[in-house]
Structure 1
Amino acid sequence: MSDAIAEAVAEALGVGAVSCDAVGGGCVAEASRVGLADGRRVFAKRLPDAGAGVLEAEADGLRELGEVSARLGAGDRIATPGVLHAGANLLVLEWLELGGPRVGDATWGRRLAAFHRASAAGSHAGYGADQDRPLGATPQDNRRLHDWPTFWRDRRLVPMLDALGAAGRGGGLVDRGRRLAERIPEILGGADETPCLLHGDLWSSNLGSVGGEPVWFDPSPYTGSREAEFGMTRMFGGFGPAFEAAYREAWPLPDPDGFDRRVGVYELHHHLNHLLLFGEGYRAGCERRMARLLRG
């Protein structure tokens, strides 16, 4: 048992810990399943070197996702783990016993569309969020703007290029990225700019099922164009054609002819982030996608 994590959880919840086992928790945090003296099990994420407010911001993001989902009928919801404690270095969540029947791609597509549509029904103060939330270990500037292409250029693409340059991983890719940045208003001009709450890091390792019902976790939420969500779903695959087909059927997207190019911009962002975090294995993919966007 990891004494440090078990003791931190026990202190945070006021209940003794009787077991602590390491589990997968992403690339930047130490994650554990902790058994409590009262019979519960909880998920604990420990980030000793977390920046100010990182884990609290993750907790708030989970609550935001949960609040939107709660407005939906049972057949449209995507569940999130409940937040039990959020502190500077420790996040404790309800334990989800993942497994059971797999949630099909069409179900994920329909429920994501329902979630986006429900979130769009609220009032919004612009694209972004009230808190900065990292994407993996990469800081993200969520200060709000009222124009979507400007938000993507100034809060996503350009800061990513700056980070790559500062890390010595840019080279000609950064120069080409700055040319692409000049064209972002043109490329994203046909996007659906309805402000929606996005999960922000939507790929298969951040999704699961409990008893055949979909759940998601480890988000980086902000308000944006719903099309940006597809950048990550396309990056690693894992979703078949039924996913996007069901989404479009539930809530059609405008300007379908320009959709793939716009999603290419969003997918490039995640490839650039992986180049920044994990190194040269992602460079070739970044180069191909950058060249395709500049040619288009």
Structure 2
Amino acid sequence: MQRQPHLNRLLSIFLVVSAVVAASLVLGQVVGGFYLVNLAKDEIATVNPTKSAEQDSSGKKKVLRLKQFNYYTVQIAAFSQQEEALALGRKLAEKSLPVVITGEPPYKVCLGFVNNQEKLLTLANSIQVNGQKSIVVKGEVNSIAFKFAAEDTFAEKEIAPFLGRVSICLEKGLLLYGSTDIKDYPESDFKGKFSLLVGELYEVSTMGLNIARQEKARETTKGILILTERCRDWAKSLEVLNGQWQEKNLILSQQQALALVEDYYRFLGNSN
């Protein structure tokens, strides 16, 4: 693997967060990662997931369709075997370059989550694995729907609104993260916006915890609790950023958002 000199600044930052990321180095989970974008509160489209639930053509299922939005990420490599992806993830973590590994084949080793492809081109061109340059790829949040039995009123009235709130938080996160450079975030402009997102994430986390405690949530309890934990971890990382306006904390908060995206996608996929 080769990294060009202008990555040195990023690597010094990742040295600080690598100890935190190491605890997440498990199968299908986060090895690390980061995100990007820009927020004005009135730019966020609201979602009413209950009204979005529509009857499936079979008459036996209902489908929750939430607003789709794109992001870009650096795909460092992709493997058919998960262990190969994890092995690369470990090597990158040892070099203080945390990544995210997707949870299903092909297992993609990804770095970054932005709304602007050009923001990642320099970084992608700087990372090579076995002589192969990394590439910038486009992903989509809500590319798949949440499906549930037509008679499952609990899923429609409890789980669907929860997923809608998670989706809105992710969209706001994407609009907030404009780069990985703290100089692009005037503290006076962004602290309040991050604080608003922190409040929403804690609300969603509480909402998910209440759902998971109910008997009717039995089949989805584990997935809901994972999303609840991810929302809480993201909120905590943003609180750290608000307390210490430093680049390492900015990137750590972006990594937590990326972890939520992966587990959110997995939850939706498990319903199909």
- TM-score norm. by structure 1 comes to 0.24
Larger Rg: 1
- TM-score norm. by structure 2 comes to 0.25
Q: Which has the higher contact order (CA 8 A, sep 6+)?
A: 2
The structure whose residues are more often helix, as a share, is 2
